[in-house]
Each structure stands twice: as C-alpha cells, then as structure tokens.
Chains A and B, each alone.
Chain A
Amino acid sequence: MAKDRVDAARELARKHYEIESGITRIIRFTNPADGQIDRAEPIKLLEVNENTVPSGVMPLFFGPAPASGIDYSSVIVEVTPDEYKKIESLELTLPVGWIDGEEMPRSPQCHGGA
C-alpha cells in the first residue's frame, strides 16, 4: 500500500473519530494485492459505532474528498458493538478482500463530536 494511501487512511480514521463520539474502534483492512494490482482500490475501514443502527455488514462507498485531504475513495462498514462481536466470532463475515486488519486507535486528544 502506498505511503500516501496509508496516511490518507489514518487521516480519514482521525476525522471519523473526531466527528462521531460513538465510534469506539476503527480497523483498517487491506488486501496484500492492494496497490500492486489496483491503485484505485478504496480505503477499507471497519468502524464500531455505539450510535449506529444494526444492519449486518453493509459496505458503504464514499468518493474522494480532496478538499479534506482525502484523495482516495473509501468503503466503510459501520457496525454496532454487538455486530462486531459477531464478526469476531465469525457469525458475520466481512466482504471479500478484507484480509489484514490494523487497529487505528483514537488519539488521546480526540474526544469525538458533541
């Protein structure tokens, strides 16, 4: 994965923690083939949000936001804490290609939206 895409993923995660106080975890997923096969591969984030509606694994696609410093499109899977437990127990499965997960912790300075 290109460094600029890693930075963009971190920035996107930081912004999401900042605007949504209910997000407790963000995990960035990559496919080892990302960047080698398809440079247009979107950033993939699994977000655990206490304030969202249960929906199972429902990937949502978002376009790039260059004005906000995000030059890549993204796919967000936003789940409730209960749904996240089901992902951990393999009762729910993530989309194909979501292979290697890396925790993107909330920074201590970031308390989230009001």
Chain B
Amino acid sequence: MTTSADWSVGFARQADADFRTFQLLQISDVPECHKLHFLQMACEKLVKAHLCGAGTEPSTIQASHAFVAKFLPRVLDQYALSLNFSNARAREILKQTRHLAQEVEILAPALKRGGQRPDNCEYPWEDNAEQLHVPLDWTFPPSRLIVERGGPTILKLIRGAIDSLL
C-alpha cells in the first residue's frame, strides 16, 4: 500500500525535476511564460509534497492548483527555521515569499482571483476592454520578484526545501 511518505517523495521528485527545468530554461531563449510555468509547477508540487507528508489524502489535492499562496510561505518558513535563518532580515525575506507565492499561484490558468487576474502562463485571455492577451507577450510579476532584493534567497529556500524532502 502506498504510504503518505511515498506520496510526499513522489511529489518532491516531480518538484525537483520541475525546478531544474525552470533553471535550465533560464539560460535559453524560451519565452518567459514557459519558464515560469515550471516554477509554478515546482512550487505547487513542493507544497503538495508537504501536505501529503502531513497526512492529507492525495486525491483531495491532486486536481487543484490553489495551494501555493497559502502553503508555500509556511513551507519556506519551516525550512528557514530548520536552518536557524530567523533574524530580522530573514523575517523580511519570508514576508516577501507571501507576495511571490500569491503571484506564482495565479500563473495557473484555473486561478483568476475572482476574475481580477486572468493573466496566466498557459492560455490567451481577454481583458475587461475585450482586448486579447497572449502569455507569450506578457510580462509576469514573478520574473521581477525573483531578481529583486531577497529574490535569490527565496529561490534558494525553494530549492533547499525540495532537497530536504528527497
């Protein structure tokens, strides 16, 4: 019988592969939307790995993308604490993870935040002025957030949190 630990490692392995792909794509000419798609998937699977490890029934979380905004900051807080990374600057960076997690979550097309954020990294969408937008042409906030102050440290926390489950 598959245990919750098995599910957790399974999701973590997929998160690991998604994050590696996100990183490899950074030095290629692949459009930004495709790069960020892999970051979104890596974050989602990291969160699901933690949820499964804590006993959540996998079938209840597999079909949904709505976990990153709520749970990614908690996962990274926990991992940072395990490294004793908890000074004032750490707290500031961990606060930034909440913003990044919200923006990463809505990269998934199913999540539109009440229709206010139809931008996503997979499918074209129409805005309120009936203008069509295509992800290939769009600039997404996470691309900026990962290079701003604290951005590389957040990526290191994500990478490290995945590694800690493997």
Contact = CB atoms under 8 A, between A and B. Distances in A.
11 contacts: A19-B148, A50-B89, A51-B89, A51-B93, A52-B156, A55-B159, A58-B156, A58-B160, A60-B156, A63-B32, A63-B35
A53 B83 contact: yes
B149 interface: yes
Nearest to A20: B149
Contacts of B148: 19
B152 A60 contact: yes
Interface of A: 19-20, 22, 40, 42, 47, 49-55, 58, 60-63, 65, 73, 75-76, 78, 113
Interface residues of B, number: 26
A78 B24 contact: no
A55 B156 contact: yes
A37 B152 CA distance: 28
B16 to A, nearest CB: 13
B152 A40 contact: no
A63 B156 contact: no
A84 B157 CA distance: 18
Contact of B80 (A22, A49, A53, A62): A53
The winner among B83, B89, B90, B147 for most chain A CB atoms within 10 A is B147
Nearest to B79: A53
Contacts of B147: 62, 65
Main secondary structure of the interface of A (DSSP, over half): loop
Contacts of B23: 60-61
Which 5 A-B residue pairings sit nearest by Cβ, starting from the closest?
A61-B26, A73-B27, A51-B89, A53-B85, A19-B149
B102 interface: no
B160 A53 contact: yes
A49 B153 contact: yes
A78 B32 contact: no
B160 A60 contact: no
B155 interface: yes
A50 B148 CA distance: 16
Interface in B1-50: 23-27, 32, 35
A21 B151 CA distance: 13
A105 B45 CA distance: 40
A73 B35 CA distance: 13
A51 B153 contact: yes
